[in-house]
Structure 1
Amino acid sequence: MALAIRQLQKHFVGEVSGLDLRVPLTTEQAREVEAAMDKYAVLVFHGQDITDEQQLAFALNFGEREQARGGTIVKKDEYRLTTGLNDVSNLGKDGKPLARDSRAHLFNLGNCLWHSDSSFRPIPAKFSLLSARVVNPKGGNTEFADMRAAYDALDDETKAEIDDLICEHSLMYSRGSLGFLDYTDEEKAMFRPVLQRLVRTHPVHGRKSLYLSSHAGTIKGMSMPEARLLLRDLNEHATQPEFVYVHKWTLHDLVMWDNRQTMHRVRRYDQSQPRDMRRATVAGTEPTVAQQAAE
């Protein structure tokens, strides 16, 4: 069966059929999937009952695996997964839902904010591939916003104002907006802000997109209140329904998205019930600006 794609939303998102991700991709199939990612920015694969190893093998068709360090407060000896995937579940090492007052649970609630994966890293992520192993019975949809269409819809005056702006991104900004302010010195060093462009240009098709995220806390050359008002206005614009696709998870869905062209968030769900989601993250290859740690 040949690979086929059906567009799900007027601006982006393709539903893929004709691929079994348990089977290694051919060079031509990998090329087709990457071209589809450039076009649609989000791809949905249904019915993919895969192992962690198969998920990671699929991801490695598109670049190197991003290293997990620096994206969580969970210590390595407390990891539930040891296969190289990112744990985006609500589960502890014992396989049970995290306690409501645990630091890991409170920190993970930041995933309910609009963000782009790893924008807090000097070189942010390229693709993310999320596999649904246990689906929560209530809530937990993931929403995606097309940041290309959002940029295109801005007026010329706003485009001129923001095109050369540089933001500071940190996990401490996103979690701080929810009131999570307690960090060790090691965590503060690990989450030290990095610089990212506010407008990115895609390396293949050349379209510009807004590079927004709850991790963005201020803008170079602006006061923090002024910067946060501008970022809030842009986020409100970019997450209007016309730019957003809502994915309602079914068991063994795999959704793949381009962090250079989209923003996403998970919606609230019943935290007393298990939700097992596992993400493979493809590393980016270059910084959005000449990177240095923010002072």
Structure 2
Amino acid sequence: MTSEFGVEITGVDLTQMSQESMQPFLKRFLLDHQVLLFRDQLLDETQQVRLAQSLGPCRKMWQIDHYVSDNEFVQYLSNVDRQGRFVGSHPDPHSTCWHVDGSHTHVPSKATILNALQVPPNSGHTMFASLYQIYDSLDDETKIQLAKHEAEHHIEFRRARRNGRLPWQWSLAKHRGASLTSQLKWWMSTIKRRWQDGGVFHPIVRHHTETGRPVLFIGDHAWRVRGKFLPLGIKLMQQINSIEIDPLAIYTHHWAKGDLLIWDNTSVLHRAGEYDLHNEARVLRRCVVEGV
């Protein structure tokens, strides 16, 4: 799909393959190519979970209120309800930023599987960037410096920084009275949860657990560099996350109904593209394989 990563696999009906035959086949291709594309694969929930479980145990998924699954390992990313009515909101607005699924956990997710059930014809694409290529593009001195650091991955703090909710971003002109009080309550409760749960830290230069190759393990969940004064550590992580990605390291997938994508979460970043939430239906079924 690019000269460096990604492959389209043809002549395969995933609904007819046994779990035993899938496992070595998928693992080999995933490690070699990072992103796998299968066309014309309209799986049901059970079949998609079985496919995911051939790579490892599945993560229990949070559910979107307007499109709930009874299967705890399945999630629908949809801007319409089950009757096809537009709900007027994005199912996961933060997914439009480059990220790695599950990097905010101690063991990042191994793989993600998306099956396209309904998609716009010319928008709502999904972009992938190879973390191998991003690392390889750095000069030697930058590689040495980044290898000295770890990043804390935390969804709430990262989103708070983007939305201006950290204390040093507060403005009396913007936050007055009850608004400022609610901000303070949110900040205290979030800090309390963070210290109770402990931090999740990953090396910024991380070695893939199976290939051993180094990757620049960045993305939207990485919110600060460990060991730095807080505002400085946040700013430094923002700079690292803003490293320019070579267009040759990016693959943009233009969805068609029945497309099924599997990707290696620990060697690629991904993000969702924009589409008309009020007039274009986009329904993707998602399963995530736990890391080990």
TM-score by length of 1: 0.81
1:142 maps to 126
Q: Secondary structure at the match of 1:175?
A: helix
Q: Deviations over 1:39-64 (max 9, x none)?
A: 11111111101111111101100000
**Which one scores higher on RCO, CA 8 angstroms, separation ≥ 6?**
2
1:19 maps to 12
Which runs of no fewer than 5 residues in structure 2 stay unpaired?
166-182
Which runs of no fewer than 5 residues in structure 1 stay unpaired?
1-7, 286-295
Aligned mates of 1:85, 1:232 — CA distance in 2: 32
2:33 maps to 40
Instruction: Check if 1:215 corresponds to 2:221.
Output: yes
1:201 maps to 207
Q: How far off its partner does 1:27 sit? A: 3.1
- Match for 2:259 among 236, 240, 253? 253
2:49 maps to 56
Aligned mates of 1:134, 1:180 — CA distance in 2: 34
Q: Secondary structure at the match of 2:51?
A: helix
Q: How far off its partner does 1:33 sit? A: 1.6
Q: How far off its partner does 1:164 sit? A: 3.5
Q: Secondary structure at the match of 1:32?
A: helix
Instruction: Check if 1:81 corresponds to 2:69.
Output: yes
Aligned mates of 2:80, 2:203 — CA distance in 1: 34
Q: How far off its partner does 1:113 sit? A: 0.5
Q: How far off its partner does 1:268 sit? A: 1.1
Aligned mates of 2:107, 2:198 — CA distance in 1: 14
Instruction: Check if 1:108 corresponds to 2:92.
Output: yes
Q: Percent identity, aligned pairs only?
A: 28
1:276 maps to 283
Q: How far off its partner does 1:149 sit? A: 1.1
Instruction: Check if 1:118 corresponds to 2:125.
Output: no
* 4+ aligned runs moved over 6 Å, structure 1: none
Aligned mates of 2:51, 2:151 — CA distance in 1: 32
Aligned mates of 1:112, 1:91 — CA distance in 2: 18
Structure with bigger gyration radius: 2
Q: Secondary structure at the match of 2:54?
A: helix
Task: Determine if contact 2:110/2:265 at 8 Å carries over to the other structure.
Answer: yes
Aligned mates of 1:61, 1:170 — CA distance in 2: 29
Task: Please give the root-mean-square deviation of Cα atoms over the aligned residues, in Å.
Answer: 2.7
Q: Between Structure 1 and Structure 2, how many residues are aligned?
A: 268
Residues 50, 231 of structure 1: alpha-carbon distance in 2 compared, 3 angstrom cutoff: same
Q: Deviations over 1:78-102 (max 9, x none)?
A: 76122221222224576533334xx
2:272 maps to 266
